[in-house]
Amino acid sequence: MTRNVAVIVGSLRKDSWNRKIAHALMERAPAGLTCAIVEIRDLPLFDQDREADPGPAGVGFRTAIRGCDAVLFVTPEYNRGVPGVLKNAIDLASRPWGQSVWTGKPGAVVSASIGGIAGFGANHHLRQTLMFLDMPVLAQPEAYIGNVASLFDGDGKLANEGTAKFLENFMQSFAAWVGRFAKG
């Protein structure tokens, strides 16, 4: 059975390191996982006065998440937490109250940073939010990609063999996690 995975990148920058990591992860997805990035760039700011109708981009985002079997989050760290655009996307799709599209969807978190701490704060900040949203989140292996700028070649392709193997193993574990918790 093929499972559809929404990949959400917490950075808007077209050439972001996290987007590159997301592509490297998708390239290493095992048979049975179909991964596609679901963009968050055009989402409106969450506004409780408009939560029932967040406009076409918000409705489209909710529909995309509702239609997937699992979610893979790839995020940088901003000020020891998740980027505001990522938190906004999560909040927008969790409302109106009782209609969250996240509920029960298996998920995983990968954080990447140019620094050595590798987005540890954002990774755990995001996990805390996802647990509240009733998403079973892959606990092991944890994925913190530090010094990410040194891992890619001039064409933006992952050039570090150790990281490539780690990402491959991570995706194998995630596939098993999705198989365990995905509905249907």
**What CATH number is associated with residue 78?**
3.40.50.360
pLDDT score of 93:
97
What number is the average pLDDT over the span 112-136?
A: 93
Write down the pLDDT at residue 54. Answer: 93
**Number of domains making up the chain:** 1
Can you give the pLDDT at residue 115?
Answer: 85
Give yes or no for residue 181 having a pLDDT over 90.
yes
| Polymer length of the chain | 184
Q: Which domain holds residue 29?
A: 3-181
Distance, CA of 177 to chain centre: 15
Q: Which pLDDT score is estimated for 132? A: 96
- Report the alpha-carbon distance of residue 94 to residue 90 in Å, rounded: 6
Instruction: Judge whether residue 84 has pLDDT over 90.
Output: yes
What is the H or E stretch that residue 147 is in? none
At residue 71, the pLDDT reads 98
